Amino acid sequence: MSANATDCKMVNIYLYTRYERFWHWLQSALIMILLVTGFETNGIYTLLGFKAAAEIHNFVGITWLIAFAFFVFWVFTTGEWRQYIPTTKKMLLVVRYYVYGIFRGEPHPVPKRREAKHNPLQRLVYLSLAAFLLPIQMLSGLLYWSYNSWGEWGLGWLSLPVVAGVHLAGGFAILSFLIVHIYMITTGHSLGAHTRAMICGWEEVEERESVEEWEIKPRGRSTPGEA
Amino acid sequence: MSIQSNEARCTSCHIGYGWKDKNFDFKDASKVDCLVCHEQTGTYKKFPAGAGNPVKEPTLFPGDGITYLPPEWNKVAQSVGRPTRDNCGVCHFYGGGGDMVKHGDLDSSMHKPNKALDVHMAVDGRNFDCTRCHTTNSHQVAGRIYSTPAATARTTLAQDDLTPRITCESCHTATPHKPGVKANDHTDKVSCQSCHIPEFARALPTKMRWDWSTAGKMKDGKPYKEKGPLGTPVYDTQKGNFVWEKNVRPAYFWYNGTIDAVSLKDPIDPTKPVALNWPVGSPQDPNARIAPFKIHTGKQPYDTVHKTMLVPHLFGPPDSDAYWRKYDWQLALASGMQKAGLPYSGQFDFVETSYVYPTTHMVAPKEKSVSCNECHSRENGRMAGIKGVYLPGRDGNRVIEVLGWAAVLGSLAGVLLHALGRAVSRRRKEG
């Protein structure tokens, strides 16, 4: 894609394990269904009809919640959570790359490594997503879904318009993320490089010794098989 | 319009069996006609304007052109039994002076309804009589009167097998749908009737409007009647203009089982349509649920000075001031108000009125019940007038929507510009 990048020697690295890829595509499918049915349930358009939209939305929402619990288990037992620790180091370099360097064909300042899959910008975005936005969406959705039990649960003080409003705002935030995310996966060394990695696990990246000690996820007992 | 001065007509159904004059004791329980409820020959006919009495000799009633015959008393008396749909229907299907006038959910089609019209009473189905739900205890019939709800407790037969069966929940419970079906969650706020009576007047048209202000027109100097496209009268010199409708979508209100009304002494505001009665209930009322109603509109006389509704004397002997004799509102109103013992200034005009009738019969087969999107929608939904409840699909948050779309479109514009920049810079390099 860029002149500089093709000058470098490319290496194939195994970035995403089978479970990670499965989880990524499952979650993306669930989220797309939830967006389509959720906006319809809110009344923005008519596609499947309110009944079908609401029923599918509820079912898929609960499915997502259960599947997310497995992801949380995975992220902590494998130690992959460390990939999400936010940092400001090289943040400005990454920002500068996306607003300037990318047009000049400069190499990415923080290339992907198995031990450092996310650049500082990604770390921040994915942490916000996984630790805040998605849980807020799940919690507001669960509350919305269980509206009829609020009284029994001592949650009678909750306001349905507020819960629904938070849930709607979250939906828009996720849709905005999705648009930027889908665009960003075209910014690898080729248009399809990032997508290919998320399908088969392997990605071609430039071989450089730019990964610094702090970026590397410390190896622990919980991450066997990484050598 | 009201009862005073017109008793002989109204009391053919309403309490006042054998009414003669205003000294009648309406509280006397012995003044109840046993036969009208219990005779089973179907030949016991009351004269329409005879205060509930049948005729002693064949008599023609000019109002409907029918000659009423005296009953064969022996046969009638020997036939007594448990009241059937026909016994109840003889009054309740013809309320307001004729078939299809008052109630949108009770008319002559309910004598022998089919399943499509009423799943409970259908002759090809359960074939319920009225008394199946309107259970009685020492002649006290379960049911609603305006000031008193049909039931205040939501008791089912499963909890108490002697409970009156007057509500849907008496038999069906508060969770009548299969486990996990969302409709079970609706029963706290939505009455069963709201979904299961999608339209009333499904077999015969029902009167939706009665404009008294146009009464009194003559054809060749004589009173006349005119029929409309539904085969029902649209004009009657005695009564004015009518509007009839079939398959009517109900109006919905919060309703706790009580209906309040304007009395002849209550001041009204003639600058806007006067609600003569209205369902009582609010979203905050734990006993109130959203329920379907027929709204009957009209134009009726009121006192422009005292700002009260007026009672015309409609029915009377030939020399009386009754409207249906002299067709003079001024005389009829003065006479009516005098008989009612109420003040009348002598100045009158007509005002728009509305009157609600609860809709609870004509329960449709479940396949015909109201679908979710008929309420959960922004355009012309059935719940459009219902306030105080957040309804997904109807109520969004317009501020969040505008900001949300701004963020989404902003993101889209951002990535498109970025993509354009990359394409341009690459072409420049390659070129």
Query: What is the DSSP track for B70-98?
Result: ---HHHHHHT--S--HHHHHHHHTSTTTS
> What is the secondary structure of B272-301 as a DSSP string?
S-EESEEE---TT-TT-EEEEEEEEEEEEE
Under an 8 A CB cutoff, do B396 and A168 touch? yes
Residue B104 belongs to domain spanning: 99-374
What are the residues facing B255 on neighbouring strands? B289
Give pLDDT, residue A7: 53
- Spell out which residues of chain A touch residue B393, defining contact as CB-CB under 8 Å: 41-43, 50, 54
Give yes or no: residues B236 and B126 share one domain: yes
DSSP H or E segment with residue B388: none
In a domain, B121, yes or no: yes
The share of chain B scoring above pLDDT 70, in percent, equals 99
Structure-model confidence comparison of residues A193 and B79, the more confident one? B79
| Lowest-confidence region among A82-86, A171-175, B131-135, B174-178 | A82-86
Same structural domain for residues B135 and B203? Answer: yes
From B324, B353, B374, the end of a domain falls on: B374
pLDDT at residue B2, as a whole number:
67
- CB burial of A97-132 (b: ≥16 within 10 Å; e: otherwise) equals bbeebbbebebbbbbbbeebbbbbbbbbbbbebbee
Residue B408 lies inside a defined structural domain of this protein: no
Rounded to whole angstroms, how far apart are CA atoms B341 and B354?
Answer: 25
Confidence of residue A218 (pLDDT cuts 50, 70, 90): low
Query: What residues in B contact A44, CB-CB < 8 Å?
Result: 396, 401
pLDDT score for B374:
94
8 Å CB contact of B412 and A104 = no
The last residue of a domain, from among B374, B394, B411: B374
The domain limits of chain A are 3-209
pLDDT tens figures, B99-132: 899 999 999 999 999 999 999 999 998 999 999 9
Chain B residues inside the 8 Å CB shell of A183? 415, 418-419
Whether residues B248 and B304 fall in one domain: yes
Check CB contact under 8 Å for B403 and A172.
yes
Q: Based on the fold, state whether residues B215 and B308 are members of the same structural domain.
A: yes
Question: Which position has the higher pLDDT, B146 or B417?
Answer: B417
Average pLDDT, chain B: 90
Which of A147, A173, A183 lies closest to B415 in CB terms?
A183
Whether residue B209 has pLDDT greater than 60: yes
Do B131 and B218 sit in the same domain of this protein? Answer: yes
CB proximity A88 to B under 8 Å = no
Residue A100 in this model has a pLDDT that exceeds 90: no
- Do residues B255 and B318 share a domain? yes
Whether residues B23 and B117 fall in one domain? no
Q: Are residues B149 and B261 in the same domain?
A: yes
Structure tokens belonging to residue A209? 């010794």
Which segment of A85-99, A167-181, B312-326 scores lowest on mean pLDDT?
A85-99
Residue in chain A lying closest to B370 (CA) = A51
Counted domains in chain B: 2
pLDDT of amino acid A223: 45
The verdict on residue B424 lying in a domain is no
Q: Does A172 touch chain B (CB under 8 A)?
A: yes
Single residue among B81, B111, B139 that ends a domain in this structure? B81
| Cβ pair A50:B373 closer than 8 A | yes
Size of interface A-B (CB pairs under 8 A): 96
Q: How confident is the model at residue B149 (pLDDT cuts 50, 70, 90)?
A: confident
Q: Which of B184, B376, B382 to substitute to test the interface with A, most A CBs within 10 Å?
A: B376
Comparing A104-108, A123-127, B76-80, B251-255, the range with the smallest average pLDDT is: A104-108
CB contact under 8 A, B408 and A179: yes
Q: What is the mean pLDDT of chain A?
A: 84
Whether residue B346 is contained in a domain is answered as yes
User: In terms of pLDDT, which residue wins out, B184 or A84?
Assistant: B184
- Based on the fold, state whether residues B252 and B354 are members of the same structural domain: yes
Average pLDDT value for residue range B294-320: 93
Q: Distance between CA atoms of A183 and A185, rounded to whole angstroms?
A: 6
CB atoms within 10 A of CB B398: 8
Asked if the model's pLDDT at residue B171 lies above 80, the reply is: yes
Q: Give the Å distances, CA to CA, from B405 to A112, A174, A214.
A: 33, 12, 39
Residue B123 is predicted with a pLDDT of: 95
Same domain, B229 and B288: yes
pLDDT at B11 over 90: no
Per-residue model confidence (pLDDT) at position B170 = 92
Architecture of the domain made up of A3-209 = Up-down Bundle (1.20)
Contact call for A171 and B421, based on CB within 8 A: no
Tell whether B249 and B113 lie within a shared domain. Answer: yes
| pLDDT of res. A226 | 42
- Does the pLDDT at position A85 exceed 50? yes
Confidence of residue A133 (pLDDT cuts 50, 70, 90): very high
Answer whether A44 touches B (CB < 8 Å). Answer: yes
